[in-house]
Amino acid sequence: MSTLLTGDLIRAARALIGLSQVELAKKAGITQKALGEFELNKRPITARANEKLRRVFDDGNIQFIAANIEASHLEGAGVRWKPKQPNSGIKTI
């Protein structure tokens, strides 16, 4: 099971691939209202919506990262284009 995306990560990934909320919601098969609520942290993301969004982001060559530390919380979480070769010292989430 993948780490649940935060509103900040969803917004950043959506901006990186240049999609509006309406476009991303349609591609992911979720409502724009739900997406907006996830992005604003007004509603917790469901595991199902998380996987749908991750599939769209994966198709767009987006990768979610964090510092490579052993901790229960995400340190330095961010979004980037998937590199052709993985870098050490960065944990994908």
Sign, CA torsion 51/66/59/17: positive
Predicted local confidence at residue 46, as pLDDT: 95
Distance CA 3, CA 78 (A): 13
One pLDDT digit (tens) per residue for the chain, 93 residues: 578 899 999 999 999 999 999 999 999 999 999 999 999 999 999 999 999 999 999 999 999 887 665 655 556 678 989 887 766 666 666
Q: Are strands 78-81 and 90-92 parallel, antiparallel or unpaired?
A: unpaired
Query: Locate tokens 């724009």: which residue?
Result: 32
Which domains, and CATH codes, for the chain?
7-92 (1.10.260.40)
Distance CA 8, CA 85 (A): 26
Tokens of 75: 């340190």
Distance CA 22, CA 89 (A): 35
Predicted local confidence at residue 31, as pLDDT: 97
